[in-house]
Structure 1
Amino acid sequence: MSDRRVFRWATSSARLLIGTAVSICAAIAVVTAVWLPWPTLARSPLEVTATPAPAASMIVCDGALLTIGRDPTDADAVQVAVPQSVVGGVAEGEPADEERLETVDVGEGPVAFVAQPVGDEAVDIAATGSATAAEPDLAGFAASACRPPLLDSWLVGGSATTGAADLVLLSNPGTVAATVQLTVYGVDGPQVPPGGSDLVIAPGTQRVIPLAGLALGEETPVVRVSAVGAPIHASLQASIIRTLTPGGVDQVGPVPQAETRTVITGVTVESDTGEDDGAAEATVLRMLSPSAAATARVTVNAVGRAESVREPQEVALEEGRPLAFALDGLSTGTYTVTVEADAPVVSAVWQTTGVEEGDDFAWYTPSPEVAVPSLFATPGGPTPTLSIVNPAAEAVTVGVVAADGGSTMDLTVPALGSVAVRLAPRTLYLFEPDAPVRAGLTFAGDGALAGFPIWPADVATPEIVVYP
């Protein structure tokens, strides 16, 4: 072998060995890089926290008690039966501005209150209205709280059967038109009736829709009210005539949303009803699970007593179909009805004083949690009773202060308990809990029954984060 050939062989072998070694090192480096953490560079995005300027506070009342069918030449005509007397005020600052809405095809409508911010803070505002009817086609006492308009709400109550003359009230206190869709939940599930689609509510007006035109024959309807363009205040006027005798009237406020736990406070039973009594269904709970089948656990407690007055019961709810559940055997007193379900539900309790001439009924809707100082007003009528429920395992102190400088009460609500206290009518109060509670007002008198929950103040302007 020549020297040149030996040199070439040696050179090639050296290159092969070096290439193999480089490949092995590269493989080791890649495997190591995969398993070992790499250095990272983290940089938080630039953010600015800002508090928007507070908006004006607005609430809308339900308005006068209305009747339908009085005019024999126009059975669909709606007329004012009894005007509504309103009591309201603000926590501080100048009195709220009053704006009168126009009820379409009827005339003067409900009043809306608008309170402008003071400095950098919104102003808490509250008002309630009441009316008493004593006419051949309408009789009873109605009281309701004036509420802020909502984009989405539920009306739990009423009926579209023979004898009922229930009306859906849609009020738009804003400056732009609202388009509303009414979804009726009944025995056949949710449906949008021809008269409930694309309803245009002009600004500054209230529109009246007969419930029978939306859900004819439904015994236990629930109506979902969805608005776009502008929020609206939805409510329900419920009334009934048994044969030729009016059996009561009520104005039912909206339920803002479905929840897995609803607490209905202040349900007032005026006379004992035994399980075998012919009037046993004087107390009826209506429930709806709109989005899923659910099991609801129903508990009834007397105000001032911790133990349940009847065995808790589990009730199966079908998706989208309301259920009426009789709460029989309740003696005279005031009660709290709690519904706990494994899916969000809406609920309300119907209570009547009887089925004879001169009797009345009321719909009680759930009370939301109140954790901040909040205003409420008591209307004219029977002496109001405030019921407070404490869901916590520790006692809660609640201050109830008359805004006019009158009486001040510090109430201790026991753990998992409740209390009730009488208040003065036609008075503005400040409700100050030191922990979240639920509360409601009820009114009971001779031929009169009504009630509504206390809602928390909605005046805090939350901070927002802006990412430039």
Structure 2
Amino acid sequence: MHGEATMTLDESKVIAEARAADDAARKAPGKRHARRPVWRALSVVAAIVAVGGVVAAVQLAPEGVVVASANSVLVSPVASAQDRVCPGPLTLLGLATDDPTLPATLGTTSIRLAGDEGGLEVEPVVASTPAADQQQALAPVRFTVPGLTEDGSPTAFAAAQTLELAQPSAGGFAATACRMPSAEQWLVGGSTAEGSSTQLVMVNSADQAADVRVTVSTADGVVQAPTIREIVVPASSREVVSLEGVAPDRGDLVVHVEAVSGSIISTLHQTRTSGATPSGIEIIGAQDAPSTSLAIVGVPSTSTASEAEGTLVLERGATLRVLAPGDEQTELTVDVRDAAGTALEPISLTIEGGRTTEIPLTGYPIGQYTLGIEASNPVVAAVQTTATATASDLAWYLPVPVLSDSQVVAVPNGPSPKLQLADADGVEKTATLIAEDGTETAVTIPANGTTSIDVEASREYRLEGLDRVSVQLAYAGDGQLAAIPSYAGNPLAEVITVYR
């Protein structure tokens, strides 16, 4: 059994000085944009060297139980170059008259970037598609920035896209975050039931092919479809899979995408019609790994009547779709709170592992609600609702991660954009919203509540002073409804804990 090792004086001094400088930087007055914690400048290698030799102190308790007290240190990796891949316009199969099996896109996306854009590189993912820029694209596009700014601090960068369509084959509004490629994604949403169509679009922006496995789950369990178990997405290309051919007549889809080699971006492209009339589109982004705790922010309440003539009407109700991967039953509790943080009637149930469950969200007064989902096993989830006035649209609300410190938000074009900030731990919060022109607005978030702030389309914003707050960008207009979760501005430089 090893004893407890200690850091040398020099190693301790390095970490202590970095932490002290970090604390001083956070407390010092002055411009918020200039505050860059020194602690974040430490590299993984340097921090691990600083704690080299520190191991757990292990004791044998009198009752024979081994008790371990692990030493740890917070480490901020030095980030490599950051990629953001925008999925591009709505992608459908069957529209190309010369070859219906080829994917075709509808519309032009509006794109907005935010944060540190020094050294920005822009290129279409597929070389044969039209060139893209920082404002719009006709196909998937990749944006790359260095991991560090010129002063050596981590780059903060975000990108998002919106799409408005009014065509005979599809109509509505969609909004999607542009994400970093990864090896695993979960997509909750879509439908292949009558009047609906959903395509799985996988984009590989790298210069090497990606081997991908796709699993589709419904209320009956995993769909047995060998054709999607092994898919090769060539370098700098995209692959489109029609889910009608995988799981026909299903309104309860959850898709799991795993890149065995390489990394990709996956989205679900959904269209819906009522008879021959288009009644909604959505480009559904991927969410991170399953979790036992999720927050879905700003879900409009179910309603069948508008508060005033011409305002947005919600119909068919909102529905929570959830899946607990694996075979075990999962105890699920859904905490429903209004904007002020007041708790409404919660939902508690047991769901079967590996089978999609849909939960109607009905009986709540007109308003917007944040759902807190707690589960005994990790789950993925999303909420779908429908809006209509002179036209109809559908929207999927995804889990929103918890953010702290400073974050950037990109606001692409769209109707009446609002930033929604939700408290994540039951404590009243205050943050600062900074516009492009430097105007600052203090934002108070009630304990367990959600605050909505009007923002301008085609702009970028910075949020300072976040402390465990979920941030979402929401749009609502005449037959237009969508929301985009905000993600960390530099996930490759997020603080991690190293145990030795």
Residue 390 of structure 1 deviates from its aligned partner by 0.9
Quote the residue 1:127 is aligned against.
Answer: 159
Q: Distance in 2 between matches of 1:406 and 1:52?
A: 30
2:368 corresponds in structure 1 to 334
Indicate how the Cα distance of structure 1 residues 434 and 124 shifts in structure 2: closer, same or farther if over 3 A, else same: closer
Q: 1:183 aligns with which of 195, 207, 215?
A: 215
TM alignment of 1:383-402, pairs within 5 A = 383-402=416-435
What are the within-5 Å matches in structure 2 for residues 208-247 of structure 1? 208-247=240-279
How far has the Cα of 1:195 moved from its partner?
2.7
Superposed displacement of residue 210, structure 1: 1.3
Q: Aligned match of 2:184 in 152, 156, 179?
A: 152
71, 76, 92: which is aligned to 1:67? Answer: 92
Tell whether the 8 Å contact from 1:130 to 1:141 is kept in structure 2 after alignment: yes
Q: Partner of 1:286 in structure 2?
A: 321
Counterpart of 2:343? Answer: 308
Distance in 1, matches of 2:78 and 2:351, equals 44
- The root-mean-square deviation of aligned C-alpha atoms, in Å, is 3.0
Partner of 1:54: 79
Superposition TM-score, scaled by structure 2 size: 0.77
Mapped partners of 2:227, 2:96: distance in 1: 22
Partner of 2:118: 94
Contact 2:315 2:387 survives alignment (8 Å) = no
CA radius of gyration, larger in: 1
Structure 1 residues 316, 103: closer, same or farther in 2, change over 3 A?
farther
Structure 1 residues 462, 295: closer, same or farther in 2, change over 3 A?
closer
Tell me by how many angstroms 1:56 deviates.
0.2
Residues 432-447 of structure 1: pairs in structure 2 closer than 5 A: 432-447=464-479
- Seen in structure 2, the aligned counterparts of structure 1 residues 283 and 465 have a Cα distance that, compared at 3 Å, is closer
Please give the alpha-carbon distance, in whole angstroms, between the structure 2 residues aligned to 1:308 and 1:366: 19
Cα separation, 2, equivalents of 1:42 and 1:286? 48
Shift of 1:282: 2.1
* 1:239-270 residue CA offsets vs partner (Å, 9 max, x unmatched): 11122111100111111111111110022348
- Whether 1:360 and 2:396 are equivalent positions in the alignment is no
Contact 2:170 2:278 in 1 (8 A): yes
Deviation of 1:51 after TM superposition, in Å, equals 7.3
Letter of the 2:342 partner, please give it. E
Equivalent position SS for 1:371: strand
Paired residues of 1:396 and 1:412 also in contact (CA < 8 A): yes
2:110 aligned with 1:110: no
For 1:88 and 1:237, the matched residues in 2 are separated by 22
Task: Determine the structure 2 residue equivalent to 1:17.
Answer: none
Query: SS of the residue aligned with 2:392?
Result: coil
Distance in structure 2 (CA, Å) of the matches to 1:192 and 1:161: 18
Q: Deviations over 1:327-361 (max 9, x none)?
A: 1134432221221111111110001014x871111
**Does the 8 A contact of 1:273 with 1:328 survive in 2?**
no
Contact 2:91 2:201 survives alignment (8 Å): no
Identity %: 28
**What is residue 15 of structure 1 aligned with on the other side?**
none
Distance in 1, matches of 2:5 and 2:401, equals: 42
Counterpart check, 1:260 vs 2:292: yes
- How big is the shift at 1:147? 0.9
- TM-superposed deviation, 1:456: 1.9
Check whether the contact 1:306–1:417 (CA below 8 A) recurs between aligned residues.
Answer: yes
Matching of residue 317 in structure 1 with residue 317 in structure 2: no
Cα deviation 1:153-180 (Å, max 9, x = unaligned): 1000001222212111111122222111
State the AA in 2 paired with 1:112.
R
AA paired with 1:48? V
User: What's 2:381 paired with?
Assistant: 347
Q: After alignment, is 235-244 or 40-49 more displaced?
A: 40-49
Question: Kindly tell me: are residues 41 and 396 of structure 1, through their superposed partners in 2, closer, same or farther at Cα, counting changes over 3 Å?
Answer: closer
- Given that 2:403 and 2:468 are in contact with CA atoms closer than 8 Å, whether structure 1 keeps it comes out as yes
Q: Give the SS at the match of 1:436.
A: strand
Alpha-carbon contact 1:281-1:327 (below 8 Å) kept: no
**2:187–2:256 Cα contact (<8 Å) kept:** yes
Which structure 1 segments of 5+ residues have no match? 1-38
1:299 matched to 2:335? The reply is yes
How far apart in 1 are the matches of 2:196 and 2:426? Answer: 43
| 8 Å contact kept, 1:271–1:353 | no
SS across alignment from 1:48 = helix
Letter in 2 for 1:110: P
- Aligned to 2:493, the other structure's residue is in SS state coil
Helix, strand or coil: the match of 1:195? helix
Output one character per residue of 1:125-145: Cα deviation in whole Å (capped at 9) or x when no partner: 111111111111100011111
Matched residue type, 1:396: K
Q: Is the 8 A contact 2:292 2:379 kept in 1?
A: yes
| Secondary structure of 1:179 counterpart | strand
Check the 8 A contact 2:329/2:351 in 1, yes or no: yes
Question: Residue 457 of structure 2 aligns to a residue in which SS?
Answer: coil
Cα separation, 1, equivalents of 2:318 and 2:145: 39
SS at match of 2:456: coil
**Paired AA for residue 105 in structure 2:** V
| Contact in 2 for aligned 1:54/1:121 (Cα 8 Å) | no
CA contact (8 A) 2:302 2:364 kept: no
TM-score scaled by length of structure 1 = 0.82
Change (3 A) 1:175 1:90: farther
Distance in 2 (CA, whole Å) between partners of 1:347 and 1:103 is: 35
CA–CA distance in 2 between the matches of 1:280 and 1:89? 34
Equivalent residue, structure 1, for 2:37: none
Secondary structure at the counterpart of residue 197 of structure 2? coil
**2:161–2:412 Cα contact (<8 Å) kept:** yes
What does 1:192-203 correspond to in 2, within 5 Å? 193-203=225-235
Residues 417 and 199 of structure 1, relative CA distance in 2, 3 Å threshold = same
1:81 to 98, 101, 106: 106
Q: Distance in 2 between matches of 1:207 and 1:57?
A: 23
Report if aligned partners of 1:64, 1:83 keep a CA contact under 8 Å in 2: yes
